[in-house]
Amino acid sequence: MRPLSVGADQRGFALLAVTLVLALLAVVVSEFAFSMRLEAAMVRSYKDAILARHLAEAGFQQAVREILSDATVHGLDDNGQVAFFQAAPGSGATPTRLPELPRTHVKLGAGEFSYRITDEEGRLSINSGLPDRLDKLLSLLGVEKEQRDIITDSVEDWRDGNDTHRANGAESDEYLKLPIPYRARNANLQDVSELLQIKGITPELYYGHGDQPGLVDLVAARTRGPVNLNTAPKIILQAWGLADAQIEFVTQSRASSPFSAVPSTLTAIPRAPLTFQSATFRIEAEGVIGGEPRARLMAIVQRALGRQTGGAPALTIFTWRWLPPRAPAKEGAAKS
């Protein structure tokens, strides 16, 4: 039997050791490279998110520029968004459309922004103190009478300044028994999202489903009260108390040109003031980087009608809320 060579043994051990070290080094290098790629992706994602927020804010500022224009009449454009007009001198003259600003895919720096402007005064005021109007709207949405009574009483209980229940309503004592307890505001709603806290209002009713709109798109908390007959959808005009013939007249007339005055045939509707100009608007803006929406915000703003001291109209921001990103803003929504 031939004896083993000590030198060959050592060389074999050295080769094995070198192989193990190289394998370990390869693992370390691969892990380091993956870590660097992950960190670079996180930094890039954070940078894109910051840029997208600034882009969304740029969209908001451009929307404000439109809102603070010299418009005296507010109507709808072909996409169902607010259009700004100036009333021409003389009774019955057709209002003139003010120059448009681009609202979709507006390039700015490394990305683009899009925004929508809709009219809060084309919606039903949840703080109007007219529960029969809300009841009518809920009926048009297919809500059963028993559930409508719960909702209308609960909304009024939420708004009033006491803790006394209406027949079908709810006050703080009931809300405090919930898994996450809270109290009724006992004052006017500050934001429509509060409806989700009120007894009887389900997410399906609030957000809508299928082709049916939700309360989030039909009611408002910060309007002046009157409904803009140039921007209100048919369902709001119905809830506001207009007859079918009056609604037909309104929708056909404003299709060709917005009203620059409330027709005398519509001024005598009990407890239902109408207007042709708005002061409160909902702005939805988003910032897009690399073709993907990375930031989205929603704001409710109200401007003072007419010029203030110093020549510039005042603007108040009631709501400012960042929302989860979604698909890029469409060119326009279908008109109701």
Is 301 inside any structural domain? yes
Phi, psi of 283 (to 5 degrees): -110, 125
Phi, psi of 7 (to 5 degrees): -65, -40
Between residues 174 and 306, which one has the greater pLDDT? 174
- Both 114 and 20 in a single domain? yes
| Position 334 pLDDT exceeds 50 | no
What's the mean pLDDT in 43-48? 83
Nearest to 317 by CA among 61, 56, 53, 50: 61
| Position 159 pLDDT exceeds 60 | yes
Is 323 inside any structural domain? yes
| Structure confidence by residue, pLDDT tens digits, 87-132 | 877 656 789 999 989 999 999 998 999 999 999 999 999 998 889 9
| Position 15 pLDDT exceeds 50 | yes
Domain-ending residue, one of 239, 255, 275: 275
- Both 13 and 99 in a single domain? yes
Q: What angle do CA 74, 314, 320 make, to 5 degrees?
A: 80
| Band (332; pLDDT cuts 50, 70, 90) | very low
What's the mean pLDDT in 182-197? 96
| Position 157 pLDDT exceeds 60 | yes
- Both 154 and 292 in a single domain? no
Type and span of the H or E element at 82: strand 82-86
pLDDT at 83: 96
| Position 235 pLDDT exceeds 70 | yes
- Both 130 and 244 in a single domain? yes
pLDDT at 22: 82
| Position 225 pLDDT exceeds 50 | yes
- Residue 133 structural domain: 125-218+228-275
Among the ranges given (31-35, 138-142, 177-181), the one the predictor scored with the smallest mean pLDDT: 31-35
- Both 142 and 107 in a single domain? no
> Residue 134 is part of a domain; what is its CATH number?
1.10.40.60
pLDDT at 333: 42
What's the mean pLDDT in 292-312? 80
Is 212 inside any structural domain? yes
Is 194 inside any structural domain? yes
- Both 133 and 269 in a single domain? yes
Nearest to 275 by CA among 204, 224, 214: 224
Longest dimension (CA), the chain: 123
C-alpha to C-alpha distance for 91 and 122, rounded to whole angstroms? 24
Q: How many domains, in total, are found in the chain?
A: 2
Phi, psi of 284 (to 5 degrees): -120, 115
What's the mean pLDDT in 283-304? 94
Is 1 inside any structural domain? no
C-alpha to C-alpha distance for 228 and 242, rounded to whole angstroms? 13
C-alpha to C-alpha distance for 241 and 46, rounded to whole angstroms? 50
- Both 18 and 132 in a single domain? no
| Position 2 pLDDT exceeds 60 | no
Give the number of other Cβ atoms within 10 Å of residue 226's Cβ: 19
Edge-to-edge strand order for the sheet containing 96-97?
73-76, 82-86, 96-97
Residues in the chain: 336
| Position 310 pLDDT exceeds 80 | no
Is 3 inside any structural domain? no
Domain-ending residue, one of 258, 275, 292: 275
- Both 80 and 134 in a single domain? no
Contact 124, 133 (CB under 8 A): yes
pLDDT at 312: 63
- Both 152 and 264 in a single domain? yes
Nearest to 283 by CA among 109, 107, 127, 101: 101
- Both 109 and 158 in a single domain? no
- Both 157 and 293 in a single domain? no
| Position 6 pLDDT exceeds 80 | no
Q: Are strands 315-323 and 292-303 parallel, antiparallel or unpaired?
A: antiparallel
Contact 157, 201 (CB under 8 A): no
Is 193 inside any structural domain? yes
Is 113 inside any structural domain? yes
- Beta bridge partner(s), residue 213: 208
Phi, psi of 44 (to 5 degrees): -65, -40
- Both 39 and 113 in a single domain? yes
By three-state DSSP, how is residue 163 classified?
Answer: coil
**Whole-structure pTM value:** 0.83
| Position 44 pLDDT exceeds 90 | no
What's the mean pLDDT in 191-209? 96
| Band (36; pLDDT cuts 50, 70, 90) | confident
Written as one string, the DSSP assignment of 173-207 is HHHTTSSS------S--SSGGGGGGSTT--HHHHH
pLDDT at 314: 86
